[in-house]
């Protein structure tokens, strides 16, 4: 058979027509789909009448299905999927978490199955809540019931009896947060469990739908409004597992399956670092500056007190963000160390100022010295301790001290009766010189110190003499 040669131009036209037909259909074209026909509404109305009116259907009775989770043949298995949309509110001090989620449930009810050929080929219709049996699935640690915080949406029913119920809403949980010890560099986690409240595993099995726990899966569609920007917490991961409980009230025979979801949240720690970490460190280092200040500077003590109060009020501000509990967080230990260092610096300042401005011959107060001397005398059987002649432990005699006081007063009187001297200044004018020269002023200061020490010693001698007389009288 001879080959027929087809012009290249004709082949090009045929291929172009085929591509145009494919592009017109599109990758998601609904042309020819049974549920996209013009008479869908007519057949869907007939199907509602058949399922809900002609058949004997009771919404209070659990469905009939092919169970796979337990040995029970009654009831159905409910697959749960929790899609965490965004974090709405988190109160870590009260242990409350409010998140926007989509709660999705799948189950099978063979009583609602139909033959698509008898109803125009349609394979899916929608039912309202109350027209079919609904799963008994609740979060165990919710603050409010999902019936009041989730929207009332339609339920999709397929021709094989499979039902799909998706509802958006706010999930309000009472969380036992874990991981807060590293605040503000922590990753919080909250555990919640979804399971039956009045219906156990005999009539209703609860399990996580196969697939990733954090929806959407890799490569799936992500809504533009999902997640949050400029928020303190971001969703890090969602972990899910299946578990089963047995309770004593049911004789440990009825299983209660649950699905556990652990939601992990990452804190934006960059907000806390400047004000709650870097600033206390700078204040603590600044408290060490008092070690280089002159004790005569009056603001040394005020500077130390101001730093202590500043560190304390920073600690008070951070305590409002943490729960009241018996555990120490990293920030609690950090604030305590900062406060201890600043208080130590303040105590050192007080000690230095006391020693610098102290004019007494001893550090301890006089009443403490007298009490110590009395105790010492009693312990030694009424004898005076050797090497001391007074409560202050001085060895000088009162006679020599009185002579020193007399000589110092005499020199002071002689200097006060002297005449003022006159000298010429740079401009040729007469300048009166103070009657007391520099060397005389230094001698006067030494005499005053001797006089003060002698007077104090004499006072201590009188006090000791009074104590001895009181002891002899006893």
Same domain, 256 and 339: no
Question: Alpha carbon 170 to chain centroid distance?
Answer: 23
> Does the CA dihedral 134-135-136-137 come out positive or negative?
negative
The lowest-confidence range among 44-48, 68-72, 129-133, 448-452 is: 448-452
The answer to the question of residue 313 being in a domain is: yes
User: Over the chain, what is the mean pLDDT?
Assistant: 76
The lowest-confidence range among 301-305, 308-312, 422-426 is: 422-426
CB 349 within 8 A of CB 300: yes
DSSP string, 315-358: HHHHHTTS---S---HHHHHHHHHHHHHHHHHHHHHHHHHHHH-
For 308, the token pair is 């202590």
For 367, the token pair is 């009443």
d(CA 82, CA 211): 11
Same domain, 319 and 219: no
Same domain, 141 and 172: yes
d(CA 428, CA 425): 5
d(CA 229, CA 75): 44
User: What is the structure's pLDDT at 77?
Assistant: 92
Other beta carbons within 10 angstroms of residue 50's beta carbon come to: 13
Averaged pLDDT, 318-325: 71
Q: What percent of the chain has pLDDT over 70?
A: 67
Same domain, 87 and 129: yes
User: What is the number of domains present in the chain?
Assistant: 3
- pLDDT at residue 465 tops 60: yes
pTM (predicted TM-score): 0.62
Distances (CA, A) of 101 to 195, 196, 205: 17, 19, 22
More confident residue, 227 or 182: 182
- pLDDT at residue 265 tops 80: yes
DSSP 92: T
- pLDDT at residue 111 tops 50: yes
Averaged pLDDT, 370-395: 65
User: What is the structure's pLDDT at 383?
Assistant: 64
Backbone angles phi, psi at 58, to 5 degrees: -115, 120
User: What is the structure's pLDDT at 188?
Assistant: 87
* Domain around 418: 390-473
Matching residue, tokens 């967080």: 329
The answer to the question of residue 2 being in a domain is: no
Which of these three, 333, 357, 381, is where a domain ends? 357
The answer to the question of residue 229 being in a domain is: yes
User: What is the structure's pLDDT at 64?
Assistant: 86
Query: pLDDT tens digit string along 53-106?
Result: 888 888 889 998 888 877 788 889 999 999 888 888 888 878 899 999 999 999
Same domain, 340 and 199: no
CATH assignment of the domain containing 334? 1.20.58.390
Same domain, 293 and 440: no
The answer to the question of residue 103 being in a domain is: yes
Same domain, 329 and 441: no
For 302, the token pair is 């005020």
Residue 303: pLDDT band with limits 50, 70, 90: confident
In 358-420, which residue ranges form alpha helices assigned H by DSSP?
Answer: 366-379, 398-416
CB 80 within 8 A of CB 206: yes
Q: At what angle do helices 330-357 and 279-287 cross, to 10 degrees?
A: 20
Same domain, 194 and 139: yes
Beta strands in 110-267 (DSSP E): 124-127, 138-139, 155-158, 162-174, 187-195, 204-208, 233-245, 256-267
* Torsion of the alpha carbons at 135, 141, 145 and 146, rounded to the nearest 10: -50
Residue 436: pLDDT band with limits 50, 70, 90: very low
Which of these three, 267, 301, 335, is where a domain ends? 267
The answer to the question of residue 376 being in a domain is: no
Other beta carbons within 10 angstroms of residue 120's beta carbon come to: 16
The highest-confidence range among 182-196, 310-324, 406-420, by mean pLDDT, is: 182-196
Same domain, 303 and 235: no
Same domain, 309 and 431: no
The answer to the question of residue 19 being in a domain is: no
User: What is the structure's pLDDT at 155?
Assistant: 92
- pLDDT at residue 469 tops 50: yes
CATH assignment of the domain containing 104? 2.70.170.10
Which of these three, 267, 284, 314, is where a domain ends? 267
Adjacent-strand bridge partners of 87? 99
User: What is the structure's pLDDT at 38?
Assistant: 79
Same domain, 78 and 129: yes
Other beta carbons within 10 angstroms of residue 319's beta carbon come to: 14
C-alpha neighbours within 13 Å on the C-beta side of residue 41: 1
User: What is the structure's pLDDT at 445?
Assistant: 60
Averaged pLDDT, 341-351: 88
More confident residue, 173 or 389: 173
Other beta carbons within 10 angstroms of residue 240's beta carbon come to: 20
Same domain, 112 and 185: yes
Question: Alpha carbon 367 to chain centroid distance?
Answer: 51
d(CA 423, CA 247): 111
Distances (CA, A) of 205 to 17, 255, 431: 54, 9, 112
- Residues in the chain, overall count: 474
> Does the CA dihedral 323-329-334-340 come out positive or negative?
positive
The answer to the question of residue 6 being in a domain is: no
- Burial 276-292, CB ≥16 within 10 A → b, else e: beeebeebbebbeebee
Query: pLDDT tens digit string along 146-175?
Result: 888 898 889 999 999 999 999 999 999 998
The answer to the question of residue 370 being in a domain is: no
């Amino acid at each position: 058979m001879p080959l027929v040669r087809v012009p290249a131009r004709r082949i090009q036209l045929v291929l172009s027509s085929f591509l145009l037909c494919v592009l017109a259909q599109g990758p998601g074209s609904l042309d020819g789909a049974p549920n996209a026909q013009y008479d869908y509404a007519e057949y869907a109305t007939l199907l509602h009448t058949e399922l809900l009116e002609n058949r004997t259907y009771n919404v209070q009775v659990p469905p009939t299905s092919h169970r796979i989770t337990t040995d029970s043949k009654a009831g159905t298995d409910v697959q749960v999927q929790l899609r965490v949309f965004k974090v709405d509110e988190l109160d870590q001090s009260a242990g409350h978490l409010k998140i926007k989620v989509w709660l999705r449930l799948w189950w099978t009810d063979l009583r609602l199955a139909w033959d698509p050929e008898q109803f125009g080929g349609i394979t899916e219709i929608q039912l309202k809540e109350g027209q079919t049996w609904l799963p008994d699935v609740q979060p165990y640690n919710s603050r409010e019931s999902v019936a009041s915080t989730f929207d009332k949406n339609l339920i999709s029913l397929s021709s094989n009896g499979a039902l799909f119920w998706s509802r958006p809403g706010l999930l309000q949980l009472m969380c036992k947060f874990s991981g807060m010890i590293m605040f503000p560099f922590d990753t919080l986690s909250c555990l919640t469990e979804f399971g039956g409240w009045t219906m156990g595993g005999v009539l209703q099995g609860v399990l996580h739908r196969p697939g990733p726990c954090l929806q959407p899966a890799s490569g799936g569609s992500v809504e533009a409004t999902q997640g949050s920007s400029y928020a303190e917490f971001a969703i890090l991961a969602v972990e899910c597992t299946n578990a089963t409980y047995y309770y004593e009230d049911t004789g440990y025979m009825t299983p209660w399956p649950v699905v556990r979801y652990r939601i992990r949240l990452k804190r934006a720690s960059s907000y806390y670092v400047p004000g709650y970490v870097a600033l206390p460190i700078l204040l603590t280092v600044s408290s060490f500056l008092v070690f280089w200040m002159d004790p005569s500077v009056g603001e040394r003590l005020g500077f130390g007190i101001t730093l202590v109060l500043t560190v304390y009020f920073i600690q008070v501000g951070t305590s409002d963000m943490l729960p009241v509990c018996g555990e120490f967080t990293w920030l609690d230990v950090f604030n305590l160390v900062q406060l201890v260092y600043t208080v130590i610096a303040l105590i050192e300042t007080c000690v230095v100022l006391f020693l610098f401005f102290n004019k007494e011959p001893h550090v301890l107060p006089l009443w403490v010295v007298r009490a110590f001397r009395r105790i010492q005398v009693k312990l030694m059987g009424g004898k005076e301790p050797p090497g001391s002649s007074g409560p202050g432990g001085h060895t000088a005699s009162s006679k020599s001290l009185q002579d020193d006081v007399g000589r110092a007063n005499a020199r002071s009187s002689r200097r006060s009766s002297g005449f003022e001297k006159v000298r010429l200044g740079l401009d040729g004018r007469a300048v009166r010189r103070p009657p007391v020269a520099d060397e005389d002023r230094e001698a006067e200061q030494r005499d005053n110190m001797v006089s003060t020490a002698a007077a104090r010693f004499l006072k201590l001698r009188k006090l000791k003499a009074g104590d001895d007389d009181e002891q002899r009288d006893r």
